[in-house]
Structure 1
Amino acid sequence: MNSTTVRNLLVRGMLAGLGAGVLALVISYWLGEPNVDAAIGFEEAHAAHSHGDEAELVSRSLQSTAGLATGILVYGVAFGGIAALAYCCALGRVGRFGPRPTALLLSGCALLAVYVVPFLKYPANPPAVGNPDTIGERTTLYFLMVVLSVLLAIGATLLGKRLAPRIGTWYATVAAVLGFAVAVGVAFAVLPVVNDVPGNFPAALLWRFRLSALATQIVLWGGFGLIFGELAHRYLRPEPARDTVSRGVSAGQ
């Protein structure tokens, strides 16, 4: 794949990430922000001392609008560009898939490796959950799980491709998936457990918050796969130009 094609797909990937970010922003605002507000209300109601005299550096209204939009849209553009580069490497190398199915397959694998697997080990928590003294440790563990998940996914893909000529594509895929699951299970068992949820925190609120976080990521990556797949298909396999001359001749006859 030449540099011009890579550049054009990179631009389309970033645009697709932006479009998917807009969709995810809607989901996050309507599903996630009410839960964040409820969690903040719980934290303020159960605070050991009053925080009324503390200066608020960034207002909650700004956080839930401009701040939320900036974070999700920048995230979408950045990961859209990275996914587009990965797409350039994957196209034609993961079976006989066209541009659209390859984009959906890539976005699904990225969702699984980058978010779902780390989420299962260290799920998202609302503002009222978590000890401020351990935030650095928790952040390190989460990103370590992300890196491990991505590396294990790459390793499983390479294993499947290596086994395919010997045992066939189906059995190679099954072996790769099982190997990935076992390796993730070992990582889950080895990495420390983090449980900072207060005993009196509403379980339903925690569940809704985590579901909204998961829904936002599903919409983000699913939207990216659909949008980028269409853009890549139109670029890589443009519709043949209509032969207006021949059509005119046929009409005249």
Structure 2
Amino acid sequence: MIVKLLVRGMLVGLIAGLLAAAFAYTVGEPRIDQAIALEEAAAAASPAGSHSHEAAEPAEHSHDDGEELVSRNGQRFGLFLALALYGLAVGGLFALAYAAVRGRVGPASEPALAITLAAAAFTAIVLVPFVKYPANPPAVGDPETIDQRTVLYLVAVAIGILAVAAGTATYRYVSQSEPWLRWLAAGAAVLVPVAAAWILLPKINEVPKGFPADLLWDFRIASIGTQAVFWLGVGALFAFAARKRSPV
């Protein structure tokens, strides 16, 4: 039954989300702390830093003792909560997509199909946008361009999804050809729109001068690593469940 498959997907997504949160907490949070320290140091060194801090103080604090509205510990808890909820939602959608393509597209083996679908989702939703618009830590990015950056990122996600769909359709269309020709045609169908987007979409580089390159690199690796852990968890856990379950 589809309900059973949906529940299984949500449970898998929840576990994968918690695994990704543990990775982000261990690898990503120290980089965020370093970036916040740089941001605070730059604000303090700014000529208007003292005045800006005084003006912003009522909005940034919830008590008279200077305690921040959301502490770093609260933000870390929010990281686990957000990724758990994200996992629930994405796991459910993954289960629906799995049910839609099972027996129609991809490997005949259900565990292999789960891993292939997770890899395709990671490529379309994470990897393609990341190549053009990688994640940035605090202190990087102009607040006035956030709307533009959000729209461009969503466009990149849409292009990634369409590119993977085009590759899948091409693979099916040339299914009677030699295996190497099918994979070559499917790869070209994915890479051509991605390359066109790379060339045509505007470049955004708002990294301030003097920002440590190693910190930027480490943060971006932690960011895509978190998503890789999530999708690896979804694919592997769903494949394990599919291996043992009876037909739905």
TM-score (norm 1): 0.87
Percentage of pairs with the same residue: 43
Q: 1:195 aligns with which of 202, 205, 211?
A: 205
2:40 alignment partner in structure 1: 44
- CA separation of 1:184 and 1:70: change in aligned 2, threshold 3 A: same
Q: For residue 59 of structure 1, what is the aligned residue in structure 2?
A: 71
SS in 1 for 2:245: helix
- Structure having the higher Rg: 1
Match status 1:121 vs 2:132: yes
Partner of 1:46, secondary structure, is helix
1:160 CA displacement: 1.3
How far does the alpha carbon of each residue in 1:150-188 deviate from its partner, in whole angstroms, 9 at most, with x for none? Answer: 0121121111101212x2343122111122112100011
Q: Which amino acid aligns with 1:59?
A: S
Match 2:165 to one of 130, 154, 169: 154
Task: Supply the AA of the counterpart residue of 1:202.
Answer: P
Show structure 2 runs of 5+ residues with no match: 62-68
Partner Cα separation in structure 2 for residue 163 and residue 142 of structure 1: 32
Over 3 Å counting, the alpha-carbon distance change for 1:96 and 1:124 in structure 2 is closer
Does 2:194 match 1:184? yes
> What amino acid maps onto 2:19 in structure 1?
L
In structure 1, what is the equivalent of residue 65 of structure 2?
none
Partner of 1:134: 145
For residues 81-127 of structure 1, what are the alpha-carbon distances to aligned partners after superposition, in whole Å with 9 as ceiling and x for unaligned?
A: 11111111222223443111111111111111110110010000001
Structure 1 residue corresponding to 2:182, chosen from 172, 178, 185? 172
Name the amino acid aligned to 2:243.
Answer: H
| Residues 1:17 and 2:29 are matched in the alignment | no
CA RMSD of aligned residues (A): 1.5
Query: Is contact 1:21-1:72 (8 Å) kept?
Result: yes
The answer to whether the 8 Å contact 2:163/2:191 transfers is no
In the alignment, which residue of structure 1 is the partner of 2:92? Answer: 81
